[in-house]
């Protein structure tokens, strides 16, 4: 594996992912597993956060203790499935700033078109973690990341649950400076752009729509 993509092979992540893939898993079960797995993935993607120290007093003595440096990080969810990953990560990092990007696919050009973008200020001074559970073609993820770069973001990471090789290749070409963290690299896309073996439509499975 190269440094561009990190596959989180922790047994808990892999176990929970298997349960999420199973078609019999209920909406409530899927949502709960997504929340749990997102905490573990968030742990991995925030590994590189910078630390500084703060002088504190324990009950016994003073010490210089590590604390996070710099501006609060920004989490940006690609609507709508990104919100499922977002909720879990926010439990781990409650002070994070949150943004949303909405894109739809133009039926004629098949290219992603922006319909919503609301992001925290001073993106250039923050680590920005973009979340979307499924990296399939990579079209919407690459477009969302470009929107954030256009608004000043410089230090961006991308977090997903499953990645297709096609999506990784697209991201590597479009944004080689944006490392990816995922729980699995699956085999390929089908003719409709679904990841195989995958887990189906992540949004439908987490919201109970079809």
CA pair distance 20, 199, nearest whole angstrom: 7
How many chain residues bind ligand URA (CB under 6 A)?
10
DSSP string across 153-179: --EEEEE-SEE-HHHHHHHHHH-TTS-
**Binding site per annotation, positions for uracil:** 195, 200-202
Interaction between residue 206 and ligand URA (CB under 6 A): no
Phi, psi of 209 (to 5 degrees): -100, 170
When asked if residue 207 is in the footprint of ligand URA (CB under 6 A), the reply is no
- Name the catalytic one among 87, 151, 172, 201: 201
Residue from 123, 171, 202, 206 touching ligand URA (CB under 6 A): that is: 202
Specify whether 157 is catalytic. Answer: no
Interatomic CA distance for residues 31 and 20, integer angstroms: 9
Active site residue 52: no
Tokens 């989180």 locate to 8
Closest approach of Cβ 206 to ligand URA, in Å?
9
Q: Which is nearer to ligand URA, 37 or 123 (CB)?
A: 37
Q: For residues 188 and 164, is the Cβ–Cβ distance under 8 A?
A: yes
Q: Which stretch binds ligand URA (CB under 6 A): 17-25, 59-67, 91-99, 199-207?
A: 199-207
142 binds ligand URA (CB under 6 A): no
109 is a catalytic site residue = yes
H/E segment holding residue 38:
helix 27-45
Q: Can residue 82 be called a binding residue for ligand URA (CB under 6 A)?
A: no
Closest listed residue to residue 148, CA positions, set 177, 169, 111, 172: 177
Q: Tell me which residues are annotated as active site.
A: 105, 109, 201, 204
């Amino acid at each position: 594996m190269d440094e561009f993509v990190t596959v989180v092979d922790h047994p808990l992540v892999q176990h929970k992912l298997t349960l999420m893939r199973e078609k019999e898993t209920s909406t409530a079960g899927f949502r709960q597993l997504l929340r749990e797995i997102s905490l573990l993935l968030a742990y991995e993607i925030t590994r590189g956060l910078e630390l500084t120290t703060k002088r504190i007093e324990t009950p016994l003595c003073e010490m210089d203790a590590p604390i996070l440096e710099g501006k609060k990080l920004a989490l940006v969810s690609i609507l709508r499935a990104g919100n499922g990953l977002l909720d879990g990560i926010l439990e781990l990092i409650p002070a994070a700033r949150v943004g949303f990007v909405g894109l739809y696919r133009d039926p004629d050009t098949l290219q992603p078109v922006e319909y919503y973008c609301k992001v925290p200020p001073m993106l250039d001074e923050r680590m920005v973690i973009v979340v979307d559970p499924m990296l399939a073609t990579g079209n919407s993820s690459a477009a969302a990341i470009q929107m954030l770069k256009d608004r000043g973001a410089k230090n961006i990471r991308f977090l997903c649950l499953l990645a297709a090789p096609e999506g990784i290749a697209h991201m590597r070409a479009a944004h080689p400076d944006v490392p990816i963290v995922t729980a699995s690299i699956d085999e390929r896309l089908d003719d409709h752009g679904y990841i195989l073996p995958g887990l189906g439509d992540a949004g439908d499975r987490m919201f109970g729509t079809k």
